[in-house]
Amino acid sequence: MKPVIVTKGITKTYQPDTIPVHALRGVDLTIDEGEFVAIVGPSGSGKTTLLNIIGGLDRPSAGYIEVGGKDISKFSDNALIDFRRDHIGFVFQAYNLIPVLTALENVEFVMLLQQLPKEKRNQRAMELLHAVGLDDKVNKRPIELSGGQQQRVAVARALASKPAFVLADEPTANLDSVSTGQLLDIMANLNQEEQMTFVFSTHDQRVIDRAHRVITLEDGKIISDRKGHV
Amino acid sequence: MLLSLAWRNIWRNKRRTLITAASVLFAVLFSSVMQSIQHGTWDHMVDNVVNYYYGYLQIQGKKFWDDRSIDEVIDRQTLLEKLPEGFKNSYPLVPRLESFALASAGNRTQGALMIGIDPEAENALTGLKGRISKGDYWQSSPEGILVGEGLAENFKIDVGDTLIFLSQGYHGANAIGEYPVRGLIHFASPDLSKTMVYLHLEDAQQFYATGDQITSLVVGLKDKEELPGAIKALHSDLDTATYAVKDWQEMMPELMQAKEMDTASANVILIILYIIISFGIFGTILMMTKDRQYELGVLLSIGMRRMQLFGMMWMEVVMIGLVGVAMGFLISVPLVKYLSLHPFQMTGEYAKAYEKFGAEPIIPPAFDWNIFSWQVLFVFVITTVLAFYPFWVIRKMKPVEAMRL
Ligand SMILES: Nc1ncnc2c1ncn2[C@@H]1O[C@H](COP(=O)(O)OP(=O)(O)O)[C@@H](O)[C@H]1O
Ligand SMILES: [Mg+2]
C-alpha cells in the first residue's frame, strides 16, 4: 500500500518564548491509502494539533512531514492553499458550511475554486450529495439542515476535489448518536467502496469502535497504535 | 458565483447593511443636492451677468479694460473688416462706446456710466427693451436716453425731463450734452440702477467726439462652449498690439473669485461629510471582518486563496456602498430634476447679495449627470480604500487561529 501521510519526529511547541506548551513531542506516523484511522486521546493530548499539521494548516516546530508524497513544509503560502484545495478534504467539528450557499453550492464551491466547468461541478456535487443521502436537501441552506445533515454536506464537500484523504477533527462531537451512526456509516461506506482514506479524531467510544486503526495520543506522544478491527 | 456569494453575504446582516447604505444614501443625497444648487446658482449668476451686459466675449481697445479711458477706442469699420471670415454671420456683433460722465439736473450732480449702443443689436443680446419700466425704446424717435430707475429717483426726474452730462471727450476734448429722458430701466442691482445711462451709439460718439469709434464689440456667443474656438479664431486674425480679446471670466474677476471660494468651502463640507460616512462604513467593515473570522478561516482551509477571499470582501464592501449610491440616486435624481425645473425664490440677505451682482434672486439647481457620476466614483474609491482593512486582516490570517472558537 502506498503511504499518503508520513511524519517523522514531529514536535509542536506553542509559546516557545514564554511558558512553552509541548503539544506534540515527536510523532512518527505512516498512514496508507485506504485506511480508516481514528486518532484518540484525552482532551489536550494533541489530536487537533496533529491533524492541523498533517492538513497543512499549521507548521510543526520540528520534524519531517510528507503528504501525498510531497514535503509540504517547503511550500509557499499560495502553493499550500492550492495543495489543500486539490489534495485534502476537511471536515471540522462544526460550522463547516458557508451559510449563504445551498448544500449544492457548498459542495460545488471547492470545484469552483478549481475552476471546473459548471456542468461538471453540478453533476459531481449531485452525486456526492446522493452518496451522503441528501438528494432531497440539495437546495437547502445550512440553517435549514440538522447538525448531522450539515456534517454530511461537509463530508460531500470534502470529497468534491477528489482528495488523497479526508481529515476530520471530531466530526461527531456535536451530533446525537443517531446522526453519529449515520455519518460513520457514510464515511465507512466511502472508505469501503471508493478506497477513500479517512483520518478522524474523536473521544467517543462508539466512533472508536468503527475505526480500522486506532492511534492513541497522550501528552503529545503516540502511546498505542492498534490495527485490526474490520 | 463569487459575485453572488458576495451579494448574499451583505444581506446576512440586513440591518447593518441597510444602515450603512443609508449613510451613503444621505451623503449622496446631500452632496448631489448641494452641488446641484451650488453649480446651478453660479451658472445662473454668471448667465445673468453675461446676458445682462458683458456677453461671453468682447473685443476691446488694447488698454481699455485697465484704463477705462475714452482715448482707448478702436475704429469700428476697421475692426469689422479684420474679423475672421464668417464671424459676421455666425454671431451677433454688438458695438458699444462706454465711459463715465457727470450727470446733473437742478442742483444735483453724480457720476454715471454712459453707454452708447446700437439699440437693435443691444436688445438682441441683452433684452434691454424688455427691462423698460416706463417710456419707450427709441421706437417713436431716435433721440434721448434711457436711465436706471435708481438714477431717476436720485435726481427726482421722470420721463420727459432732461439731464445734462459732462465729461472729457476724445483726446482731451470737452464733452457736454443735454438729453431728454425717454425711458426708465429696471435693474435688479441697485448699484447698476443708480449709474446706468444708455443712448444711441451716434449720440455717444458725438458726445465724446470719437467719430465712428467704439470702446468694445460684444461677440454674441450663445454658449460658453463656443468660446475656445472663437478666441482662437480672433487671436489668429486680430493684431494683439491693437486689440484685446476678453472673455467673461476676465471681465468678472470678482465673480470668478467668489465662485472659486464658494466652491472650495462647499468642497470642504463635502469632504468632511464623506470622512464621517467613511467612519461609519469602516465600522461596518470591522464588524463584517470580525464576525466572520471563523468562516474566513474555513474558506482559507478548504483552499480559497487570500486574494480570492479579499476579492470577495472587497466586492461586499463596494456593493454596500453602491447600494447606498443607488438608493441615493433613486431619491436625488428625481429631486434635483424637479428642483431644476422649479427653481426656488430667494429672500433676505441672499437675495441682496445676488442683486449686487445684477442677478435675479432665484436658485435654479443645475441638473448635471457629472455631479452624480462623481458620487459613484467617490463612493467606489472610499469603499475600495476602506477594504484594505479586510485585505490586511486576511493577509496575515492563520486558519488555525481564525477558527479557534
Ligand atoms: N494556539 C495554541 N497556543 C497555546 N497552546 C495551544 C494552542 N493550541 C493548542 N494548545 C495546547 O496544546 C495542547 C494540545 O492541544 P490540542 O491539539 O488542541 O489537543 P486536543 O485536540 O487533543 O484536545 C493543549 O495543551 C493545548 O492547550
Ligand atoms: Mg481538539
B9 CA: distance to closest CA in chain A (Å): 6
User: Between A37 and B254, whose confidence is greater?
Assistant: A37
pLDDT at B355: 64
> Number of CB pairs < 8 Å for A and B?
61
Closest by CA to B82, choosing from B56, B54, B59, is B59
Query: Mean of the per-residue pLDDT values for chain A?
Result: 94
A219 inside 8 A of chain B by CB = no
- Mutate which of A113, A118, A155, A157 to disrupt the B interface (most B C-beta within 10 Å)? A113
Residue range B336-392, pLDDT digits in tens:
999 888 887 877 777 777 666 556 677 788 888 888 888 889 899 999 999 999 999
- Report H helices in B91-198: 119-126, 149-155, 190-195
Using the Cβ of A101 and the Cβ atoms of chain B, whether some distance falls under 8 Å is answered with yes
pTM for the full predicted model:
0.81
Residue that the C-alpha cell 520534524 belongs to:
A63
- Cα separation, A5 vs A1, in Å, equals 12
- Rounded to two decimals, the ipTM of the complex is 0.94
**A157 near B CB under 8 A:** yes
Cβ B306–A161 below 8 Å, yes or no? no
Q: Is A87 on the interface with B (CB under 8 A)?
A: no
* Chain B residues touching residue A85 (CB < 8 angstroms): 302-304
CB contact under 8 A, A84 and B302: yes
Ligand 1-lining residues (CB < 6 angstroms): A 14-15, 21, 23, 41, 43-49
Distance A48 CA to ligand 2 centre (A): 4
Q: Using alpha carbons only, how large is chain B's radius of gyration in Å? A: 31
pLDDT of A145-161, one tens digit each? 999 999 999 999 999 99
Which ligand 1 atom is the nearest neighbour of the CA of A52? 17
Residue ranges covered by each domain of chain B: 2-50+255-404, 57-220
pLDDT of residue B354: 67
Q: Indicate the CATH number for domain A3-227.
A: 3.40.50.300
What pLDDT was estimated at residue B344?
77
Q: What is the dihedral of CA B2, B309, A110, B5, to 10 degrees?
A: -30
Q: Is B29 exposed, middle or buried (0-12, 13-18, 19+ CB in 10 A)?
A: buried
Q: What would the pLDDT profile of A39-66 be if each residue is shown by its tens digit? A: 999 999 999 999 999 999 999 999 999 9
Inter-chain residue contact B305 with A55, CB threshold 8 Å: no
* 3-state SS, residue B148: strand
**Sign of the alpha-carbon dihedral angle for A171, A172, A174, A179:** positive
Whole-angstrom Cα distance, residue B385 to residue A137? Answer: 40
Residues whose CB is less than 8 angstroms from the CB of residue B22 and which lie 6 or more positions away in sequence, other chains included = B324, B327
In the structure, what pLDDT confidence band is assigned to residue A228 with cuts at 50, 70 and 90?
confident
Answer whether A81 sits within 8 Å of B306, measured CB to CB. Answer: yes
Inspect the interface and report whether the beta carbons of B303 and A100 lie closer than 8 Å: no
Distance from CA of B399 to the nearest CA of A (A): 6
Cell for A32?
A: 496508507
Contact (CB, 8 A) for B178 and B164: yes
Express as a percent the part of chain A with pLDDT over 90. 90
| Beta-sheet pairing, A21-32 with A3-14 | antiparallel
Residue nearest to atom 5 of ligand 1 (CA): A14
Average pLDDT over residues A168-182: 94
| pLDDT under 50: residue ranges of chain B | none
CB B184 within 8 A of CB B147: yes
Measured in Å, residue A45 CA sits from the centre of ligand 2 at 8
